[in-house]
Amino acid sequence: MSELIQISKNGDIGIITVNNPPVNALSPGVPDGIAAGLAVHIADPDVKAIVLIGGGRTFIAGADIKEFGKVVSGQSKGHSLLPLMLAMEDSPKPVIVALHGTALGGGLEVAMGGHYRVAVPSAQVGQPEIKIGLIPGAAGTQRLPRLAGVELAAQMCAFGESITAAKAHEAGIVDAIIDGDLLACAVAFARAQTARPKPREREIQSFDPGIFEKLRAQARKSHRNQTAPLAAIDAVEAATVLPFAEGCLRERELFNECLYGPQSKALIHSFFGEREVAKVPGTGKNLPVREIKRAAVVGAGTMGGGITMNFVNAGIPVRLRETTQEALDRGMAIIRKNYANSVAKGRFSQEVMEQRLALITPQLTWDGFDEADIITEAVFEGMALKKDIFAEIDRIAKPGCILASNTSTLSIDEIASATGRPQDVIGTHYFSPANVMRLLEIVRGAATGIDVIATCMALAKTLKKVGVLVGNCRGFVGNRMIHCYGREAQFLVEEGAAPEQVDAALYEWGMAMGPLAMGDLAGLDVGWRIRKEFKHLEVPGVRIPHISDELCERGRYGQKTGAGYYKYDENRKPSPDPAVMEIILEVAARAGLDRREIFKQEILDRTLLSLANEGANILEEGIALRPVDIDIIYLTGYGFPAYRGGPMFYADSLGLNTVLKRVEEFGWEPAPLLIKLAGEGRTFAQWANEVK
Ligand code: 3H9
């Protein structure tokens, strides 16, 4: 038997244990090992029933996702799990599958091959394949409707959300919930089944309950432009019209379409990318991190309020300081309103809301800041103001306290220079709305201690954020790149496109919203303020966009003033505003531009490729650790569609030669790394593997 699988016996019950840490994925050797274990127990006359269980923290969490890339590139033939499942179901002895942790994807499919399933209350089951751009590929779409009913099965396969053991029990996926030792109880359960006829789900036929069109409409909305959810619905629908074996063939066809399509590659890149960004050279299990038990936040504006909510949501009490009672009351009222909205939507109870609010101490003083383990500054983007605050908190904070700035653009080193402890100063750049967006850019200053970095990476996890380490430069990674993207969007408008045309092109391509609408949402005045701060850095003769600043000069800051690139009604619904077109024409005339017709492809290339070109500079300067870090920043903080993998993955998928050609056509300065890689016919991903 391979070391991935152990077999043993408990009296007349044969046991097969899967041991492929950390998540017991169905890597090569695991399915064959289970099949071999099954054959041994079937051949053993003393064995009356068989239990399949996962060793360690979980049952099988699915196929080994790393293998899919090898199959697509032809390095591996891959192999079907169907023979294993048929062998389980055709076993003359009952097969009982014992579930704990997460039985996901291929894991749930293997479990459904057994005759019975038992689970501990904390177990979760699901078919999450659509999250990596696939559909269940080992009869999940055919067995689940037969076990759980068509509607629940279609929902689980189309949207990928797991369900609890209790719900699985209610739906008939799980036959018994085990309170007590899982293996001992599964063995007892198995013993009780030895004399009973074994159910064979595959012989049941499902029927269409008339839900598929509704589900398709829902999937088109919730998973805009994505192919896998619709393929999953097609496959479940096949289970209602075809016999089991033919349904499995249809499922395989649809699975392969997804596997060889571009979206699964991008989503798998995103799955591993989210985990890779957590790996920071020099940090690791052996490096002790500082304990964060109390936090303090300076500034109760939009960002400070959102940051406060993050801490208290994780059970960390916060001292929240403002300079005026009015600002403090306004900040607390917004926090209260956000929580009340969550209660109204049923996300948590009023009691939880009150508990969270009770963890916030709103105040006008520095009281208690000397007890905080981390102080986060979240005031306006002004260097002088930030330096004053850091000098003050340097005087108050206890030794070892982390001094964090939420600055989105300013130099962490300059901010740190206002303190006597630059090793404790770091940037923690949250994204608006800070209580919702998953990204946390962690900005390393020249002197920032490695344990401070490790602590903030761990803190990101505690706050349920994706922490990405970046270097210190103007705008860091995300905003430095978005500056290029926004600049091109404005240039396109100055040269002839309407704002709604630019936004529609990028929205249809998959961005959560267009760049100009995004500016309106974030507040155009934020960038305006920053540009004023950096006015001295403008290079004479280099073209800069003017529309956003012109809008701000006229009090059009975006949604918050009811007008920006669009005008907004009382429900914040945007509509094009002729007044904006007048401003655009005025700016264009002043710049001497001959407005022309602009097509969609130009909009897409100029905005999206500007991200990749600047990303290449960022990589070469070492501001981002790897191309995937840039991708994850864009997927989790900027509404870039995960099924396109992120700006660097997207550029790789177009081919860097093509990207370079376009960059040159647009008259931009190409990043040296882009020139080099395009010349060598390589990708950012290949470069990253070599410099590792
Ligand atoms: C499928 O099953 C298709 C089928 O229909 C069959 C078709 C033929 N493969 O997330 P974590 C790694 S598709 C390979 O940090 P957690 C992960 O990269 C699959 N590796 O832990 C990480 O590695 P590292 C359907 C995997 O406790 C380590 O394990 N299944 C896989 O926060 C720990 O992971 C899914 O989509 C995998 N399947 O969460 C489930 N899973 O330490 C995907 C994990 O080097 N997995 N790794 O960074 C998950 O959702 C979460 O990992 C899970 C645990 C909830 C299981």
pLDDT digits (tens, 9 = 90+) for 158-211: 999 999 999 999 999 999 999 999 999 999 999 999 877 677 777 777 778 889
Centre of ligand 1 from the C-alpha of residue 281, in Å: 22
Residue 269, domain member (yes or no): no
Rounded Cα gap, residues 397 and 395, in angstroms: 6
65 CB near ligand 1 (under 6 Å): yes
Residues in the chain, total: 692
DSSP string, 284-312: STTS-------EEEE--SHHHHHHHHHHH
136 and 197 assigned to the same domain:
yes
454 and 519 assigned to the same domain:
no
Centre of ligand 1 from the C-alpha of residue 61, in Å: 6
- Residue entry with tokens 């850019």: 441
Mapping DSSP to helix (H, G, I), strand (E, B) and coil, where does residue 381 land?
Answer: coil
- Per-residue pLDDT tens digits for 221-235: 999 999 999 999 999
Q: Whose CA is nearest to atom 19 of ligand 1?
A: 62
Q: Whose CA is nearest to atom 8 of ligand 1?
A: 137
- Helix residue ranges, H only, 314-446: 325-344, 350-358, 383-396, 412-416
Average pLDDT, stretch 277-285? 90
Which pair of tokens denotes residue 266?
């991008």
137 CB near ligand 1 (under 6 Å): yes
Residue 557's alpha-carbon distances to 364, 554, 607, in angstroms, are 28, 8, 22
> What pLDDT is recorded for position 532?
81
* Domain range enclosing 509: 478-622+625-692
Q: Contact at 8 Å (CB) between 19 and 13?
A: no
> What pLDDT is recorded for position 640?
98
More confident residue, 79 or 472: 472
> What pLDDT is recorded for position 1?
63
458 and 495 assigned to the same domain:
no
Q: Which of 306, 618, 658, 229 is nearest to 631 (CA)?
A: 618
552 and 465 assigned to the same domain:
no
Q: Whose CA is nearest to atom 50 of ligand 1?
A: 61
Q: Contact at 8 Å (CB) between 212 and 141?
A: no
Residue 366's alpha-carbon distances to 70, 334, 370, in angstroms, are 57, 22, 8
Residue 274, domain member (yes or no): no
pLDDT band per the 50, 70, 90 thresholds, residue 359: very high
81 CB near ligand 1 (under 6 Å): yes
Pocket test for ligand 1, best of 65, 141, 248 (most atoms within 8 A of CB): 65
Centre of ligand 1 from the C-alpha of residue 133, in Å: 14
Atom of ligand 1 nearest to the CA of 131: 36
Calculate the average pLDDT of the chain: 95
- Which residues, other chains included, contact 514 with Cβ-Cβ below 8 Å and sequence gap of 6+? 489, 499, 500, 502, 503, 504, 505, 506, 507
61 CB near ligand 1 (under 6 Å): yes
Is residue 518 predicted with pLDDT exceeding 90? yes
Q: Which of 438, 379, 383, 450 is nearest to 412 (CA)?
A: 383
Mapping DSSP to helix (H, G, I), strand (E, B) and coil, where does residue 593 land?
Answer: coil
Average pLDDT, stretch 350-372? 98
Q: Contact at 8 Å (CB) between 1 and 33?
A: yes
138 CB near ligand 1 (under 6 Å): yes
Centre of ligand 1 from the C-alpha of residue 68, in Å: 13
pLDDT band per the 50, 70, 90 thresholds, residue 692: low
> What pLDDT is recorded for position 535?
80
Residue ending a domain, among 470, 491, 523, is 470
62 CB near ligand 1 (under 6 Å): yes
- Which residues, other chains included, contact 458 with Cβ-Cβ below 8 Å and sequence gap of 6+? 289
Active site residue ranges: 109, 129
64 CB near ligand 1 (under 6 Å): yes
106 CB near ligand 1 (under 6 Å): yes
**Lowest mean pLDDT, pick from 516-520, 532-536, 687-691:** 532-536
**Lowest mean pLDDT, pick from 72-86, 199-213, 222-236, 675-689:** 199-213
Q: Contact at 8 Å (CB) between 499 and 513?
A: no
561 and 528 assigned to the same domain:
yes
112 CB near ligand 1 (under 6 Å): no
397 and 484 assigned to the same domain:
no
Atom of ligand 1 nearest to the CA of 65: 9
Residue 200, domain member (yes or no): yes
Centre of ligand 1 from the C-alpha of residue 60, in Å: 9
Mapping DSSP to helix (H, G, I), strand (E, B) and coil, where does residue 652 land?
Answer: helix
66 CB near ligand 1 (under 6 Å): yes
Q: Whose CA is nearest to atom 15 of ligand 1?
A: 275
How many domains does the structure of the chain reveal? 3
Atom of ligand 1 nearest to the CA of 124: 55
- Which residues, other chains included, contact 253 with Cβ-Cβ below 8 Å and sequence gap of 6+? none
306 and 215 assigned to the same domain:
no
Residue 578 CB coordination number (10 Å):
7
Centre of ligand 1 from the C-alpha of residue 23, in Å: 6
Residue ending a domain, among 437, 470, 503, is 470
> What pLDDT is recorded for position 427?
98
- Per-residue pLDDT tens digits for 429-469: 999 889 899 999 999 999 999 999 999 999 999 999 999 99
129 CB near ligand 1 (under 6 Å): yes
569 and 551 assigned to the same domain:
yes
Atom of ligand 1 nearest to the CA of 63: 2
Residue 134's alpha-carbon distances to 125, 253, 644, in angstroms, are 17, 12, 14
CA angle (192, 197, 202) in 5-degree steps: 120
Q: Whose CA is nearest to atom 4 of ligand 1?
A: 106
- Residue entry with tokens 């916060």: 318
In percent, how much of the chain has pLDDT > 90? 89
- Per-residue pLDDT tens digits for 593-647: 999 999 999 999 999 999 999 999 999 999 999 999 999 999 999 999 999 999 9
405 and 484 assigned to the same domain:
no
Residue 391's alpha-carbon distances to 147, 322, 562, in angstroms, are 64, 17, 37
Residue 482, domain member (yes or no): yes
Atom of ligand 1 nearest to the CA of 276: 48
Q: Whose CA is nearest to atom 44 of ligand 1?
A: 23
Is residue 2 predicted with pLDDT exceeding 80? no
- Per-residue pLDDT tens digits for 99-153: 999 999 999 999 999 999 999 999 999 999 999 999 999 999 999 999 999 999 9
Residues β-bridged to residue 360: 318
Centre of ligand 1 from the C-alpha of residue 328, in Å: 43
Please report, for the domain that includes residue 416, its CATH number. 3.40.50.720
Q: Whose CA is nearest to atom 47 of ligand 1?
A: 23
Q: Which of 307, 306, 310 is nearest to 334 (CA)?
A: 306
Residue ending a domain, among 470, 490, 516, is 470
Tell me the torsion sign for CA atoms 501, 503, 506, 509.
Answer: negative
- Which residues, other chains included, contact 39 with Cβ-Cβ below 8 Å and sequence gap of 6+? 87
Centre of ligand 1 from the C-alpha of residue 29, in Å: 17
| pTM for this model (two decimals) | 0.95
Rounded Cα gap, residues 61 and 104, in angstroms: 5
482 and 461 assigned to the same domain:
no
Helix axes 106-113, 82-89, angle to 10 degrees: 30
pLDDT band per the 50, 70, 90 thresholds, residue 216: very high
Q: Whose CA is nearest to atom 56 of ligand 1?
A: 61
Residue 660, domain member (yes or no): yes
Pocket test for ligand 1, best of 4, 23, 457 (most atoms within 8 A of CB): 23
Average pLDDT, stretch 571-588? 95
Which pair of tokens denotes residue 678?
């395009």
Residue 356, domain member (yes or no): yes
22 CB near ligand 1 (under 6 Å): yes
**Where is 13: in which H helix or E strand?**
strand 13-18
Atom of ligand 1 nearest to the CA of 81: 8
Q: Whose CA is nearest to atom 48 of ligand 1?
A: 275
127 CB near ligand 1 (under 6 Å): no
Residue 317, domain member (yes or no): yes
Q: Whose CA is nearest to atom 54 of ligand 1?
A: 23
Atom of ligand 1 nearest to the CA of 136: 5
Q: Contact at 8 Å (CB) between 418 and 394?
A: yes
607 and 683 assigned to the same domain:
yes
Q: Whose CA is nearest to atom 24 of ligand 1?
A: 275
63 CB near ligand 1 (under 6 Å): yes
Atom of ligand 1 nearest to the CA of 104: 30
403 and 343 assigned to the same domain:
yes
275 CB near ligand 1 (under 6 Å): yes
Residue 556, domain member (yes or no): yes
101 CB near ligand 1 (under 6 Å): no
Rounded Cα gap, residues 136 and 151, in angstroms: 16
**Lowest mean pLDDT, pick from 337-346, 532-541, 568-577:** 532-541
